[in-house]
Amino acid sequence: MADKILVLKDVKKYYTGTQAVVMGLGGVDLSFARGEFVAITGESGSGKSTLAHVMGGILPYESGEMYFNGAPTSHFDSLDYERYRRDNVSFISQNYGILPGATVWKNVVSALLLSGMGRQEAAQAAQKLLRQVELWDLRRRRAAKLSSGQKQRLSIARALAKPAPILIADEPTGNLDAENSAKVISLLAEAARDRLVILVTHEFAEAEALATRRIILSDGLVVQDIPLRDPEEPAPLRGAQRKQKRALSLYVAGLQTGSRPIWATTVAAFFALTAFAVFAFLGVFIINLDDTSTYQYDAKTFPNGSKERIIVSTLDGSPMTQEDYDALLKVKHVTALEPNGYVSDVFYGYREGIDYVTKYELHISGDFFGFHSVSSFVSFANNLPCLQTVPLLPKGRTFLAEGKLPESFYEVAVRRGVAEIGDTIDVLIKDSRYLSDPIPLQVQVVGLTDYGSGIYFSRDLGRMFTQMIKVSQDHNSNPRLFFYLPHEEVEEGTFFPSTSYAHTLGDLNIIDVSFAVIDPGREQTEITLRKMMRIGDKDSHDYPFSKLILTSYQDFDALTWNSPSEQVSLTISDYAYTDRVIAAVQKLGYIAASPYRLGSTKQVPELAKERMQTLQICLTALIAVVALQILLLRALFSVQTDSFRILSNIGLTSRTARASVLWQILLFTLLGQVVGGLAVWLCGCNGVERIEQMLRYLPPANILILSGVHLAASLLAAVLVIRGMEKQVYPLAGKYRDLNMGEGKEDAL
Ligand code: ADP
């Protein structure tokens, strides 16, 4: 009896229905060995299927004992049965149990791989098996497209691929014609060379020539047990189920997706959609965490609160050198550098009535000369442009499109289209912090540029203002403007004949014009002066500024050129890059700040509320997408349950099944992120404003966060998909670990 693989002692099986208890087997004594090809026959309802199912571990029995390899099985719970089936039984039924979407080849190879074979070995064995069942020529056909006979032969090939010592075929020829039936029977007979083959049939005749034994059942009892011929000495069974290779999960993942192209496309599209949604909602959420935009800009500190401006100073206050400029221009997203950093906070207006309005007041003094004067008061509009001098641009970019660079104070370059070369523009300049009065300048367009916007003044003017502002900052004194004029144009004593004076101090011609009134009769003087500055209106001759030092070019140079500023202004391509540029500049060893941020001090409640709403909407939408992903994914993956069940019958362990789901979801997530990311990018390129903004604002590190969140949502969904699948396919999988049954076979879980 030791070599008996299955022994049944007085095995009874009852079916408990709603009304009555029906006897399936009424006390069966049988024993079987490998090498036998047993035909179980009998009338319909005699218990053939019941016996086959009990031996196959598909049905439990109520009393008696069934021994497998000498070990009793009556204490088996459903888990024990599952392992028994998985490791020891191949079951062939009328409905084939093949993967309909997969090819013939894959159906067989997967069974071999699941038994733990390597790829090459499996390919060889599959070829052998397919030739054996005469399906080699059809190996590339999908299983669903086979005829019934071919399907049944395929299911036999699959059953043979599994190295189980017991093969049970329950009416395998039920759907087949005589020719196909004969083929199936002979295949089963061959299978009996190394295993026990049980054939349930109501057509004994078809098996008569090959079966080694016939058992006849009637009313659940064995009525005859007829040996027909001696079974051959069984060949050793090909190695038992081996540990499944890790890569097998990837193979199963491919098998599951590959056999469902439409499903796979749907799932991929779904992942692309969720990736897109996560990217968009989370992206907008992240950029809205910066609440600067909800504050109103207060120009008191920095009149130029341009969003794209970054102020940079040296740590120790030492002046910047050309090397500093070069290093700063190399920082990513920096588009220009204004070497006269302070000048960026001096604003100007050039359209009377739009940028500024001038009001005049007549003063009649009571003195006996009957002296009267007209004062002008200028009020400026808000949001004036700030002074820009010709900036330094990164290598490879040129500032000038036409004409020449502004060289003197009276020359400017403008953006192409704003004015023509040779045009004259009247400008009023004012620094709201230090200059109490605006300074008029009449300037001429000498160059055109495609860079930026507004008017670009000469570097000299920038230097002059920088000097002036610095002096007033450092000494808290009145600002002094250093203008140069050629010596010969300054005529001492004749220039400002009434209350002004000019005198020479060393090489400096100093003209203090704070009290100057020009003689209206001296047209010539006025014209000379207008070259330098515009003087209000022709009726008004008050100089609206405080101190002016007129100096020669050489002196001007000496006073300003040798003291370049320790502070510059950078222009960046978008406010979005502020943090990144500041960080990069700080890393280079400078102080850096965004004046726009520093000056945005007063919160606007409506904007703040709007921002909160945007944050809430994004967060809600994000949670909804994640929840949707989890819920829908479970439903989407439920189509795999049947094939998982089929695969589990031929040995797919739940660990490999789990890993295969994980693989699928990971790969779909990756694919979805690529497609979804591409869609986001396309939206950004095609003017979807929020997305465009988001793409600029998100540094690469944050893009990783977006991917991470989408991946986390996918993994969460994967956990639930896996749980659902296990519940269906491996109902008690979690408890395997506690069991210790069989012959110490490696625990698959
Ligand atoms: P066979 O395969 O020889 O036709 P079965 O094993 O299917 O016989 O049936 C044996 C007996 O058990 C019959 O009386 C049948 O009615 C009964 N039986 C089989 N399956 C069930 C079931 N699921 N529920 C109740 N009775 C069943």
Looking at ligand 1, which residue's alpha carbon is closest to its atom 16? 45
Q: Which pLDDT belongs to residue 558?
A: 57
For the CA of 47, the closest atom of ligand 1 is 6
Asked if residue 627 and residue 494 are part of one domain, the reply reads no
Q: Decide: 24 in ligand 1 pocket, CB within 6 A.
A: yes
pLDDT, tens only, 573-629: 988 899 999 999 999 999 999 999 988 888 899 999 999 999 999 999 999 998 988
**Which amino acid is present at 218?**
S
- Paired tokens of 112: 């071999």
CB 527 within 8 A of CB 566: no
The whole-angstrom separation of Cα 706 and Cα 699 is 11
pLDDT band of 533, cuts 50, 70, 90:
very low
Domain finish residue from 506, 534, 563: 563
87-99 average pLDDT score: 84
379-383 average pLDDT score: 83
166-193 average pLDDT score: 89
Residue 327 belongs to some domain of the structure:
no
Residue 669 belongs to some domain of the structure:
yes
- Paired tokens of 504: 């020479």
Within 8 A by CB and 6+ apart from 633, the residues are 270, 665, 714, 717, 718, 720, 721
Q: Decide: 42 in ligand 1 pocket, CB within 6 A.
A: yes
Beta strands in 579-699 (DSSP E): 590-593, 600-603
Beta strands in 547-641 (DSSP E): 548-551, 567-572, 590-593, 600-603
Neighbours of 551 (CB within 10 A): 25
- Paired tokens of 423: 């045009």
- Paired tokens of 707: 């991917």
Residue 618 belongs to some domain of the structure:
yes
Specify which residues 595 forms β-bridges with. Answer: none
Residue 612 belongs to some domain of the structure:
yes
* 583-591 long-range Cβ contacts below 8 angstroms, 24+ apart: 584/331, 584/332, 585/310, 585/312, 585/328, 585/331, 588/327, 588/328, 588/331, 589/315, 590/312, 590/313, 590/314, 590/315, 590/324, 590/328, 591/312, 591/313, 591/314, 591/315
Q: Decide: 53 in ligand 1 pocket, CB within 6 A.
A: no
CB 647 within 8 A of CB 161: no
pLDDT band of 513, cuts 50, 70, 90:
very low
The whole-angstrom separation of Cα 536 and Cα 227 is 129
Among 22, 54, 61, 202, which is best to mutate for testing ligand 1, by the most ligand atoms less than 8 A from CB?
Answer: 22
Asked if residue 633 and residue 530 are part of one domain, the reply reads no
Sheet containing 63-68: order of strands: 21-33, 4-16, 63-68, 71-72
Q: Would you say residue 367 has pLDDT above 90? A: no
Looking at ligand 1, which residue's alpha carbon is closest to its atom 21? 15
CB 339 within 8 A of CB 322: no
Q: Decide: 22 in ligand 1 pocket, CB within 6 A.
A: yes
Q: Decide: 46 in ligand 1 pocket, CB within 6 A.
A: yes
Q: What angle do CA 589, 593, 594 make, to 5 degrees?
A: 145
The H or E element that residue 11 is part of is: strand 4-16
Length in residues, the chain: 749
The whole-angstrom separation of Cα 670 and Cα 676 is 10
Q: Would you say residue 516 has pLDDT above 50? A: no
Instruction: CATH number of the domain at 151, please.
Output: 3.40.50.300
Asked if residue 225 and residue 162 are part of one domain, the reply reads yes
For the CA of 53, the closest atom of ligand 1 is 6
Asked if residue 502 and residue 394 are part of one domain, the reply reads yes
Distance 21 CA to ligand 1 centre (A): 11
Residue 744 belongs to some domain of the structure:
no
Asked if residue 90 and residue 26 are part of one domain, the reply reads yes
Taking the CA atoms of residue 728, residue 731, residue 734 and residue 739 in that order, the dihedral angle to the nearest 10 degrees is -150
pLDDT, tens only, 110-159: 888 887 788 898 899 999 999 988 899 999 999 999 998 899 889 989 88
Taking every pair of Cα atoms in the chain, the longest distance, rounded to a whole number of angstroms, is: 153
| Nearest alpha-carbon partner for 182 in 147, 206, 156 | 206
Neighbours of 377 (CB within 10 A): 12
Q: Which pLDDT belongs to residue 559?
A: 57
CB 282 within 8 A of CB 706: yes
Q: Decide: 599 in ligand 1 pocket, CB within 6 A.
A: no
Looking at ligand 1, which residue's alpha carbon is closest to its atom 5? 47
Domain range enclosing 492: 340-563
The whole-angstrom separation of Cα 298 and Cα 288 is 21
Distance 23 CA to ligand 1 centre (A): 8
CB 255 within 8 A of CB 110: yes
Among 13, 14, 15, 200, which is best to mutate for testing ligand 1, by the most ligand atoms less than 8 A from CB?
Answer: 15
Domain finish residue from 498, 533, 563: 563
Asked if residue 543 and residue 502 are part of one domain, the reply reads yes
Cα→Cα distances 691→271, 282, 623, Å: 19, 11, 19
| Nearest alpha-carbon partner for 105 in 68, 154, 173 | 154
The whole-angstrom separation of Cα 39 and Cα 200 is 6
Asked if residue 391 and residue 512 are part of one domain, the reply reads yes
Q: Which pLDDT belongs to residue 292?
A: 85
Residue 736 belongs to some domain of the structure:
no
The H or E element that residue 297 is part of is: strand 295-297
Asked if residue 273 and residue 363 are part of one domain, the reply reads no
**Cα-Cα end-to-end distance for the chain:** 32
Instruction: Provide the angle, in degrees to the nearest 10, between the axes of the packed helices 605-637 and 700-729.
Output: 30
pLDDT band of 546, cuts 50, 70, 90:
very low
Looking at ligand 1, which residue's alpha carbon is closest to its atom 2? 49
Looking at ligand 1, which residue's alpha carbon is closest to its atom 13? 45
Q: Which pLDDT belongs to residue 418?
A: 85
For the CA of 200, the closest atom of ligand 1 is 2
Q: What predicted TM-score, i.e. pTM, was given to this entire model?
A: 0.69
Residue 569 belongs to some domain of the structure:
no
The whole-angstrom separation of Cα 358 and Cα 338 is 31
**Which amino acid is present at 402?**
E
Q: Decide: 600 in ligand 1 pocket, CB within 6 A.
A: no
Looking at ligand 1, which residue's alpha carbon is closest to its atom 23? 15
Residue 308 belongs to some domain of the structure:
no
pLDDT, tens only, 666-675: 999 999 999 9
Q: Decide: 50 in ligand 1 pocket, CB within 6 A.
A: yes
Q: Decide: 422 in ligand 1 pocket, CB within 6 A.
A: no
Domain total of the chain: 3
